[in-house]
């Protein structure tokens, strides 16, 4: 790992992140070994963005822990870990590595799943690996379904939810579809999971991928009546979406997540007509001209860019101040809420 803390990072940390509590739980992190990448890429077209893969070719557990040490000199950060959610990696190998890393370092972990597993197979894998729940992903939906047509239950089937409900496991859900959080079918299925599976500890990742104000729609008018559903704000820099989330569900059901290692990226995010663009230093991430979510800036502006992680946490600070969160509320979001989920899923 080649992560250097520059003066711009130290300045950002001191100026903007002094609000962070001493203990944090990052509920959304990937640990990845290069050796688990398949020699032949999957024939199934990628269903998610490709730009995150430009940040780090791998992220072994040692690199993840060292990143926290460097980025947060005054904090102790405990990650919830899982493997890469893509068909381009050996699923069994990466899940086994996560299980070993979690046991070695005393960390909570989730199992990356495929809907092809039976209920018994799923249960055996979670229990044998010491996992606290599931990390399904739209990449594993049946190949014949077009990306825009994927539904939650195509990659998180009901028989998996039934097992998770019986055990009270965590389910970390990245919702699909072009409409993101505001998509009516997504909202309908999220509410169905809460209603039908009351013991599932559902966490909606990325605030439902509401990265721009236009992604929110009227979602929180609908979701404000939920009682158990949690939300992380990983890889999200929209203070607007975070503020609307806090106003709708309160600070007790919001949890900090990062999406490591992608948030090691040096960047600043902007939205243009509801489309997010990551502004990055010229040349740092190779040729990005074919990726509409990436745009290079000149050398002067690039030198002022700090980490995606820091930008995310600044956005949360802005949202927290807008709704008047107390220091205790912030500690709940950054540590206590996730600690309760982890303990309830079977581990303290």
Residues 230-251 pLDDT 10s: 999 999 999 999 999 999 999 9
**In the numeric block, which tokens belong to residue 344?**
């309830």
CA pair distance 69, 180, nearest whole angstrom: 33
- pLDDT classification of 11: cutoffs 50, 70, 90: very high
Cis peptide before 261 (omega within 30 of 0): yes
Given this model, what pLDDT does residue 42 score?
61
Domains identified in the chain and CATH numbers: 7-264+325-344 (3.20.20.140)
> What whole-number distance in Å separates Cα of residue 262 and Cα of residue 28?
11
pLDDT at position 45, please?
60
Q: Tokens in use for 259?
A: 């999406």
Encode pLDDT of 57-79 as tens digits. 899 999 999 999 999 999 999 99
The pLDDT, as a whole number, for residue 15 is 98
Q: Across all residues in the chain, what is the average pLDDT?
A: 96
pLDDT 10s digits, 40-56: 666 566 667 889 989 99
Q: Both tokens of residue 141?
A: 């939906």
């Amino acid at each position: 790992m080649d992560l250097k803390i520059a003066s711009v990072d130290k300045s950002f940390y001191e100026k903007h992140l002094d609000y962070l509590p001493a203990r944090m739980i990052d509920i959304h992190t990937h640990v990845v070994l290069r050796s688990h990448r398949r020699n032949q890429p999957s024939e199934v077209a990628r269903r998610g963005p490709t730009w995150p893969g430009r940040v780090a070719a791998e992220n072994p557990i040692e690199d993840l822990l060292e990143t926290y040490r460097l980025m947060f000199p005054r904090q102790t950060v405990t990650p919830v870990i899982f493997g890469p959610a893509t068909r381009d990696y050996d699923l069994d190998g990466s899940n086994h590595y996560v299980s070993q890393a979690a046991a070695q370092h005393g960390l909570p972990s989730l199992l990356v799943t495929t809907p092809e597993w039976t209920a018994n197979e799923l249960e055996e894998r979670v229990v044998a690996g010491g996992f606290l729940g599931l990390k399904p992903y739209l990449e594993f939906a049946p190949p014949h379904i077009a990306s825009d047509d994927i539904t939650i239950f195509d990659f998180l089937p009901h028989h998996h939810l039934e097992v998770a409900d019986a055990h009270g496991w965590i389910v970390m859900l990245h919702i699909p579809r072009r409409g993101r959080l505001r998509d009516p079918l997504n909202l309908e299925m999220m509410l169905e999971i809460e209603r039908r599976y009351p013991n599932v500890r559902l966490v909606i990742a990325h605030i439902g991928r509401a990265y721009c104000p236009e992604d929110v729609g009227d979602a929180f008018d609908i979701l404000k009546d939920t009682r158990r559903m949690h939300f992380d704000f990983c890889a999200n820099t929209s203070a607007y979406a975070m503020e609307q989330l806090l106003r709708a569900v309160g600070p007790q059901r919001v949890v900090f997540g990062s999406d490591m290692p992608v948030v090691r990226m040096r960047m600043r995010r902007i939205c243009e007509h509801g489309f997010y663009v990551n502004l990055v230093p010229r040349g740092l991430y190779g040729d990005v001209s074919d990726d509409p979510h990436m745009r290079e800036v000149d050398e002067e502006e690039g030198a002022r860019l700090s980490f995606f992680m820091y930008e995310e946490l600044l956005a949360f600070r802005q949202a927290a101040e807008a709704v008047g969160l107390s220091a205790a509320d912030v500690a709940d979001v950054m540590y206590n809420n996730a600690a309760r989920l982890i303990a309830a899923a079977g581990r303290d």
